[in-house]
């Protein structure tokens, strides 16, 4: 019995635990009328109230208005509150740049979300059944879907573009023929949508032209596709559990984006790499999702692109390749806190013999006489040298300690330390007579080999660095 199965599905899934009300999407067709009849019969034992929602998509003229009138009468007959709406899907299709079917789907979900908000309800119930599931899986296969598409529709899932709301499909294992038999047995009338026979629509073509032919190969086609979906969902859940662990270890988030550890990402299985890219994109792109083809394209880019490169990835986002991380962020968004203490690009400040300066978290104090100075680093420099705080210039070289007095190009030194390219022009350099004597790197200062620059027996001003 369908009502018994529906009650078991709803109770065992926990989908409506604690719910006081359900929004029931009713088009007037066989499946939604059967769903509403079953839920109305069960609402006492489920301890929920029902609110009927129906949308005319503006595709069928008077027939669409007739569907709304039918749903209004049905809700009134069963004493159920209802909200009816209308949308101009052809106009929305042009505005959104999508096909009519996709625009109708989006308009329907947006309408249901609006009703749910209006009724202060978190759960929306739809009448998708086993035949719908089979068609969805085949459509996804034809479109080149990955594992997620093979799983088809879930019994419980977030409402598209409204993840705070829950979609519930308690008829997902019931074939259309069983629902039609239920309506006949209960004496239920329902509307018949003539456009369901228009095979210019992909789903209708699949339903009326393709699936009957496939059923010749396997009369139990619906059950076979259902088993495929269940197997795919099981495998997807397994991958998802590992993906959660990888995400906790590899992903760092901030308001305008996220970074992914390059080492952990490249070590991961391709299934986890794809999942991590999709999840990062979807969470930042605000409603848009990453297709299977674009996921593979970005994966190839992450594996082959040079450090410092970047590209537009759609939805107002960009992907940057760093030394230690891949970064996905909004194009005009803020970079994450870097851990570096940075000063403005082009800074060029001369310091006198008794000056103190604080800039961008960098603190420098010059003492004319040696004294006790509690600081991260101290330098003793010739009295007559010119001290200058600046950022890098073309041709800069640095004599770090431990290289026997040899110098290196500052650019190469920064590359070796994997300093991100986009902040190198903001790294603080302390110079004496234009020789770099200290570089602020994060919380520390890296000092030059002063013996190589000035000799070991020197005295003069004391510079305290914090």
pLDDT digits (tens, 9 = 90+) for 192-225: 888 788 888 888 899 989 999 999 999 999 889 9
Residue in 203, 228, 225 with CA at minimum distance from that of residue 134 = 225
User: Given this model, what pLDDT does residue 422 score?
Assistant: 77
Region at 148 (left for phi over 0; alpha for psi -120 to 50; beta for the rest): alpha
pLDDT digits (tens, 9 = 90+) for 379-432: 888 888 899 999 999 999 999 888 888 899 999 998 888 788 878 999 999 999
Q: Which of 102-106, 363-367, 417-421, 456-460 has the lowest mean pLDDT?
A: 456-460
Q: Which domains does the chain have, with CATH numbers?
A: 2-217 (3.40.50.620), 238-330 (3.30.465.60), 348-465 (no CATH)
- For tokens 């604690």, the residue is 18
How many contiguous H segments (helices) and E segments (strands) does the chain have? Answer: 16, 22
Q: Which helix (H) or strand (E) holds 453?
A: helix 450-454
E runs forming strands in 139-254: 156-159, 162-168, 251-254
DSSP states of 275-311 as a string? HHHHHHHHHHTTT----HHHHHHHHHHHHHPPTT-EE
Mean pLDDT, all residues of the chain: 88
User: Given this model, what pLDDT does residue 456 score?
Assistant: 67
Residue pair 354/399 in contact by the 8 Å Cβ criterion = no
Any long-range contacts for 221-227 (C-beta under 8 Å, 24+ apart)? 221/134, 222/130, 222/131, 222/133, 222/134, 222/175, 225/133, 225/134, 225/137, 225/138, 225/152, 226/130, 226/133, 226/134, 226/173
Q: Which of 200-214, 269-283, 302-316, 450-464 has the lowest mean pLDDT?
A: 450-464
Does the pLDDT value for residue 124 go beyond 90? yes
Q: What is the CA radius of gyration of the chain?
A: 33
pLDDT digits (tens, 9 = 90+) for 225-236: 989 999 999 998
Helix 221-250, helix 130-142: angle, nearest 10:
60
Measure the CA–CA gap between 17 and 25, rounded to whole angstroms: 19
Give the CA distances from residue 400 to residues 69, 86, 394, in Å, rounded to whole numbers and listed in that order: 82, 72, 18
pLDDT digits (tens, 9 = 90+) for 427-453: 999 999 989 999 998 888 999 988 888
Residue in 391, 392, 361 with CA at minimum distance from that of residue 465 = 361
Q: Which helix (H) or strand (E) holds 95?
A: helix 89-96
Residues 6+ apart with CB under 8 A from 428: 341, 342, 343, 347, 359, 360, 362, 389, 391, 439, 440
What tokens appear for 348 in the block?
């060029």
Residue in 356, 354, 359, 418 with CA at minimum distance from that of residue 390 = 359
User: Given this model, what pLDDT does residue 443 score?
Assistant: 81
Which residues lie across from 390 on neighbouring strands? 348, 429
User: Given this model, what pLDDT does residue 38 score?
Assistant: 96
pLDDT digits (tens, 9 = 90+) for 18-38: 878 999 999 999 999 999 999
With bands split at pLDDT 50, 70 and 90, how would you rate the model's confidence at 372?
low
Measure the CA–CA gap between 32 and 170, rounded to whole angstroms: 11
251 vs 144, higher pLDDT: 251
User: Given this model, what pLDDT does residue 338 score?
Assistant: 67
* Mean per-residue pLDDT, 69-73: 95
Residue in 229, 109, 128, 238 with CA at minimum distance from that of residue 166 = 109
Q: What percent of the chain has pLDDT over 90?
A: 45
Does the pLDDT value for residue 107 go beyond 90? yes
pTM: 0.68
The DSSP secondary-structure symbol of 245 reads: H
Q: Which of 122-126, 130-134, 277-281, 416-420 has the lowest mean pLDDT?
A: 416-420
């Amino acid at each position: 019995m369908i009502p018994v199965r529906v009650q078991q599905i709803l109770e065992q899934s926990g989908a409506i635990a604690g719910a006081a009300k359900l929004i029931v999407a009713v088009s007037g067709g066989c499946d939604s009328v059967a769903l509403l009849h079953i839920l109305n019969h069960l609402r006492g034992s489920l301890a929920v109230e029902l609110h009927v929602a129906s949308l005319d998509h503006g595709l069928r003229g008077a027939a669409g208005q007739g569907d709304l009138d039918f749903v209004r009468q049905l809700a009134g007959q069963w004493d159920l509150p209802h909200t009816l709406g209308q949308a101009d899907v052809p106009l929305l299709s042009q505005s959104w740049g999508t096909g009519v079917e996709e625009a109708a789907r989006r308009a329907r979900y947006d309408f249901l979300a609006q009703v749910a908000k209006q009724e202060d309800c978190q759960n929306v119930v739809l009448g998708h059944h086993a035949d719908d599931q089979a068609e969805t899986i085949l459509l996804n296969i034809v479109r080149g879907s990955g594992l997620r598409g093979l799983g088809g529709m879930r019994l419980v899932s977030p409402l598209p573009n409204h993840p705070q709301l829950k979609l519930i499909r308690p008829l997902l294992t019931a074939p259309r023929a069983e629902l039609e038999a239920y309506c006949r047995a209960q004496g239920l009338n329902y509307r018949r949508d003539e456009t369901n026979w228009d095979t210019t629509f992909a789903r209708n073509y699949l339903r009326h032209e393709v699936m009957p032919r496939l059923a010749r190969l396997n009369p139990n086609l619906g059950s076979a596709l259902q088993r495929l979906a269940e197997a795919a969902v099981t495998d997807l859940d397994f991958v998802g559990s590992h993906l959660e662990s990888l995400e906790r270890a590899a992903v760092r988030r901030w308001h305008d984006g996220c970074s992914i550890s390059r080492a952990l990402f490249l070590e991961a299985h391709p299934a986890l790499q794809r999942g991590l890219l999709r999840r990062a994109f979807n969470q930042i792109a605000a409603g848009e999702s990453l297709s299977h083809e674009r996921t593979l394209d970005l994966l190839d880019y992450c594996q082959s692109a040079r450090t410092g490169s970047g590209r537009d990835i759609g939805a107002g986002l960009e992907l940057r390749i760093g030394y230690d991380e891949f970064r996905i962020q909004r194009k005009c968004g803020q970079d994450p806190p870097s851990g570096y203490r940075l000063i403005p690009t082009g800074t060029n400040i001369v310091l006198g013999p008794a000056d103190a300066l604080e800039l961008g978290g960098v603190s420098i104090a010059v003492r004319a006489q040696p004294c006790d100075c509690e600081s991260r680093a101290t330098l003793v420099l010739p009295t007559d040298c010119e001290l200058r705080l600046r950022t890098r210039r073309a041709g800069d070289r640095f004599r770090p300690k431990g290289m026997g007095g040899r110098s290196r190009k500052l650019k190469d030194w920064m590359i070796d330390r994997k300093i991100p390219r986009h902040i190198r022009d903001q790294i603080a350099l302390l110079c004496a007579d234009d020789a770099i004597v200290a570089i602020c790197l994060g919380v520390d200062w890296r000092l030059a080999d002063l013996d190589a620059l000035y000799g070991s027996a020197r005295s003069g001003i004391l510079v305290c660095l914090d």
